[in-house]
Amino acid sequence: MSSSSQSSKLNTRKVLSEDNWTKLNAVLQPLLLTDEIIDKIRAAFSDQMHLANSTDENVRKTSDHLMMNTFIRELLDGTEQGDFLGLDLGGTNFRVVLVRFKDGVADTVTQYYNLTDETLSGPAAGVFDFIAESIQDFLVKQGLDKSEQKIPLGFTFSFPSTQLALNKSILLTWTKTFKCPDGVGEDPVAMLEAAIERKTKNLPVDIVVVMSDTVSTLMAGNYLDKKCRVGLILGTGCNAAFVENISDIDKWTGDYNDPKHVIVNVELGSTGDNGCMDFCRSEYEKEVDQFSNHPGSFTFEKSFSGMYLGELVRLVLVRLIKDGTLFNGKAEKLIEGRWKFTTSHVTDIESDAGESQENTKNVLKKFGLDSGVTDEDIAIVREVCEFISRRGAHIIAAGMSVLINYIRLPEVTIGIDGSLYEKHPKFHDSMMEIFERFSPNTKVKMILAKDGSGQGAAFAAVSALRQLAKGIRCS
């Protein structure tokens, strides 16, 4: 009964009565992702990429993807030398990273700094002033504040932006905990440079590249594995970047010299906002969207990402409770607790191995479901968690298989960061099922590039310097 016609690895059928098995099937069967549906998802994803790559701006506007040129063309090759800085800004905590390369081997020092609520809601200049002072504090501690040579710095700026050059972008909107009344429409690199001039004059840094966390994750993955050509964020939200062949980019305006590829930031979380994925959206995904903070947007993410996976599972469980299949029709906290059943709960339940019920029972206790819970109830909960998780993994992997096939290499590694991929015990294997069937000509490997966006920013600074030295166009 599991998605993409794969049989369940649980023994649910043996535990359930004929009646409950039939009822469970009736709820899950409409959610099945057949190979035909997976192919349609892949085709829709590919269509959005083609539209976003068009030379016609009006055509590009019809796409749910951005397919943004990052201007990063050089990857790591194992010969790197010297000191590089990485800055990772994407939440209340941000980090400054020093990477010291010797013969391609990186020695990394990281320090975290905290932005206050007052700073997060004040003028943007206050945010960048604090960052500049934090960089100075870090350099003093590392004995580099008096460096005679400027240290190249890569800046991971994890907010929706339009990339204009290797070290220039335009902020489209603040997200997460940032509520600054200004800064939108400005260049974060220019804002940081102004703060350095204002607060820490003569700070020996040179901001040579700005990027999203997905791009820096790809760079971190490329350090771990030189065959890494895809970066994927798979946590609360989702995005991907990949190394695309310049010959496949219709809107390319740069040169065609070596290297004949460039990292492209897909911005895929909104795939389906224009309706292209309506054919596979279930009633549960539509309800998640209706009650989310951003109805009508980030449609793709709402099928699998960490922000939404738990709620998807809860809605299916509520359906089974209301028809009397589960918990004898009584489970008020689950029925009324919108957003209370989280992806962490799903991950805990999915961590029960074999016949074990311990984690599942512990999760159910948190919802007042202790006494009276039967083996059938537990089997149904486990089946729904596995089914919805696997379905989600297949959806994101379907999109990734399109990128893999675009790259056209015999072996491709995907560098992944994010709590969903890291903590869910079955997501990796479920994604691999899709790659084996839909990217048969490429040996796909997935690796965890944990917290890669700080280190990856420093690695991108290496790329930027190499490109400048070679005269590769960077804007």
Residue pair 279/248 in contact by the 8 Å Cβ criterion = no
Q: What are the residue numbers of the active site?
A: 176, 213
**Separation in Å, CA 75 to CA 5, 66, 86, 244, 286:** 39, 22, 16, 12, 40
Cβ neighbours for 460, distance < 8 A, ≥ 6 positions apart: 72, 154, 209, 211, 215, 216, 219
Rounded CA separation 242/400 (Å)? 10
Q: Is 93 exposed, middle or buried (CB count within 10 Å of its CB: 0-12, 13-18, 19+)?
A: exposed
Rounded CA separation 50/46 (Å)? 6
Under DSSP, is residue 305 helix (H, G, I), strand (E, B) or coil?
Answer: coil
Q: What is the C-alpha R_g of the chain? A: 24
Q: Is 144 exposed, middle or buried (CB count within 10 Å of its CB: 0-12, 13-18, 19+)?
A: middle
Rounded CA separation 82/104 (Å)? 9
Q: Which amino acid is at 274?
A: N
Rounded CA separation 191/266 (Å)? 25
User: DSSP letters of 339-390?
Assistant: TTS-HHHHHHHHT--TT--HHHHHHHHTTT--TT--HHHHHHHHHHHHHHHH
Identify the residue whose tokens are 């400027």: 150
Cβ neighbours for 19, distance < 8 A, ≥ 6 positions apart: none
Residue 419 structure tokens: 């709590």
Give rounded-to-5 percent helix, strand, coil for the chain.
45, 20, 35
User: DSSP letters of 334-346?
Assistant: HHH-TTTS-HHHH
Q: What would the 3-class secondary structure string for 2-47 be? A: CCCCCCCCCCHHHHCCHHHHHHHHHHHHHHCCCHHHHHHHHHHHHH
Residue pair 266/249 in contact by the 8 Å Cβ criterion = no
Q: How many CB atoms lie within 10 A of CB 473?
A: 13
